[in-house]
Amino acid sequence: MSDFILETRALTKEFKGFTAVNNVNLQVQRGHIHALIGPNGAGKTTCFNLLTKFLVPSAGQILFNGHDITSARPAQIARMGIIRSFQISAVFPHLTVLQNVRIGLQRQLGTTFHFWRSEKTLDRLNERAMGLLAEVDLTGFADTITADMPYGRKRALEIATTLAMEPELMLLDEPTQGMGHEDVHRVTELIRKVSQGRTILMVEHNMSVVSGICDKISVLQRGAMLAEGSYDEVSNNAQVMEAYMGTEAGAEAVELAGAH
């Protein structure tokens, strides 16, 4: 089996003459936390949408575990083990935290569309659901209505529901967006914890998060790959500094991130 769980070859997406993703060759190593970064408009979210099949590529290939998944549908790749979280917290607000995780586990019972069955048929999932809540430090919130939880805890719940789908590859889209410092730290540590035995590809703006947990970083600019490597390699790349905010300001931002 290849060291690379996910690869793209000359991946390209055009919208009516505008090239949003341009000839991107990405290799995500199995077991790594890999970040996709870049200034606003760099094509990061478009790239994520291509990888999870919410968009169809104009050209190029996507390979997962060596198999070409370029023409697969979103539901198919989810069943293969590629599970994505979104920029906005995607949970059921009026259900309890435990009920949210049980829905993620329900597929294992083969009763996902058995709407007429009693909710009690899901009780057998409680032990596994509580185990997942323990993984993301939410055991004490099991009976809390999700809408009543702080934002950072909702993101932790979303990671728990993602884990319920038994992902081999987790794609996290801006996991710390809109969070205060305490929540950023909690979710960063959570990502590090749940990465054991899994591969994570994440889009992230917060450089202190990227510098703290990522094994490899790919930098996009105007839809094309600008640089790749470790945080030290990327943060010392003059082109990357300039792409972000001009050489001097970029260097200062990188130094600040490294200090956190």
Tokens of 181: 């410092």
Same domain, 62 and 118: no
Same domain, 73 and 6: yes
pLDDT, tens digit, 9 for 90 and up, residues 189-248: 999 999 988 999 999 888 889 999 999 999 999 999 999 999 999 988 888 888 775 544
Same domain, 248 and 137: no
Same domain, 173 and 240: yes
For the chain, the domain total comes to 2
Same domain, 175 and 76: yes
Exposed/middle/buried for residue 114 (C-beta within 10 Å: 0-12, 13-18, 19+): exposed
Quick one: how far is CA 46 from the chain centroid?
13
pLDDT, tens digit, 9 for 90 and up, residues 135-149: 999 999 999 999 999
> What's the domain range around 1?
1-81+169-185+199-260
Same domain, 6 and 77: yes
**pTM as predicted:** 0.85
Within a domain: residue 192?
A: no
Phi and psi, residue 3, nearest 5° = -65, -20
Within a domain: residue 36?
A: yes
DSSP characters over 184-239: HHHHHHHHHHHTTTSEEEEE---HHHHHHH-SEEEEEETTEEEEEE-HHHHHT-HH
Same domain, 74 and 125: no
Same domain, 94 and 154: yes
Same domain, 64 and 98: no
